[in-house]
Amino acid sequence: MTEQTKIPVPGKNAEVSRSRSLIERAAGTFDLRGFQAPAIPAAAAAPPISAPSRVVHPVPATAFATGPAFEATPARQAFRGSFHTIDRRHLREQCLIEPEGPVTGLLEEFRIVKRQLLLTAAESRAGRGSPHGERILICSAHPGEGKTFCAVNLALSIAAEKDTEVLLVDADFAKPSVLSALGLPGGPGLMDALADPQVPVEDCIIGTDIAGLFVLPAGNSTGSDTEHLAAAHTQQVLDRLTFQAPNRIVIFDSPPVLAASPASELAHHVGQALMVVRADQTGEAALRDAISILSGCEDIKLLLNCTRFSPTGRRFGSYYGYKE
């Protein structure tokens, strides 16, 4: 046990001692004056440091107006073509998807189809996979297998996306049918921009009242469609379709692969190709030949059309009350 008799008893100056700080009391007990640093003579003291003078040159106001745009937020490209309203009744008569309409089995089917295409396009933009994944070629081996039907419905389905817009290009120069399917008037189109460098392709694009949907007609047909597509100018025209538009998908409705040669050239300019296969018509040999001709595209997908049989018994749209 500690001996209490050796603990000092507070004296008369106890209250004064308690009023001083701990450092002050320690200095009085241990005489800390010996630890003080010697004073620096005034002559040896460092001169005061003054802030360096800086000349401010006025910046002309035009420097901000003419400077380069910030690359992270590029300016949005505006199409300068005409604007037309699409008749919803005409779409129903063509058995096409009706925007803002009821959920049908057809709508659900193309919701499934577009999701994989949009995913591939996003991967391409991120630098993974084939380049130009935002360009999708819709084709078939023979006429009458439903390529235009699938191209238009796919464009209508993608236009419903909240963060994506779609440009539907009629690249079937010999027998264009996209405009008639949508009920739009004719006019200059892709072939006019390819044949004449003085024709801006933006001026040929048709705007619609369907949010996010634009249409580029085929234009005037020539006897050298394939040669125009194979020219170096084609790459410049197609690049303008997606210039400064990171959320734009371009869908090309091409001629039948085994009936016309432009499809083989278009395959070199796209990142994805969707081959429409009609269940009751397309043969295996024709399908193999068509895929071989489209070898310029690294990513070729197959879409089975005109079939009602499902081994799993799925019926898209029935969950929402739709009945065939």
| Rounded mean pLDDT, 129-137 | 94
Is 199 a domain residue?
yes
User: What are 66-111's pLDDT values in tens digits?
Assistant: 333 333 333 455 666 688 999 999 999 999 999 999 999 999 999 9
What per-residue confidence (pLDDT) applies to 79?
A: 67
Q: Is the pLDDT of residue 55 over 80?
A: no
Tell me the two tokens of residue 221: 């047909």
- Pairing relation of β-strands 135-140 and 165-170? unpaired
| Rounded mean pLDDT, 5-14 | 49
Residues 257/294, Cβ–Cβ less than 8 Å: yes
Is 95 a domain residue?
yes
Q: Is the pLDDT of residue 264 over 70?
A: yes
Q: Helix, strand, coil shares of the chain as percentages rounded to 5?
A: 35, 10, 50
What per-residue confidence (pLDDT) applies to 221?
A: 84
Is 156 a domain residue?
yes
What per-residue confidence (pLDDT) applies to 134?
A: 97
Is 257 a domain residue?
yes
- Percentage of the chain surpassing pLDDT 90? 64
Q: Average pLDDT, whole number, for the chain? A: 81
- Assign 5 a pLDDT band (cuts: 50, 70, 90): very low
DSSP symbols for 14-71: HHHHHHS-HHHHHHHHHTGGGGPPPPPPTTTSPPPPPPPP-PPPPPPTHHHHHSPPPT
Q: How many domains does the chain have?
A: 1
User: What are 197-247's pLDDT values in tens digits?
Assistant: 999 999 999 999 999 999 999 999 888 999 999 999 999 999 999 888 889
Is 47 a domain residue?
no
Is 23 a domain residue?
no
CATH number at residue 139: 3.40.50.300
Residue 136 CA, distance from chain mean position: 13
Residue 128 CA, distance from chain mean position: 14
Is 22 a domain residue?
no
Of 42-46, 122-126, 204-208, the range with the lowest mean pLDDT is: 42-46
| Rounded mean pLDDT, 288-316 | 84
Is 159 a domain residue?
yes
- Assign 318 a pLDDT band (cuts: 50, 70, 90): low
Tell me the two tokens of residue 5: 């008799």
- Assign 43 a pLDDT band (cuts: 50, 70, 90): very low
For 206, the domain range is 83-320
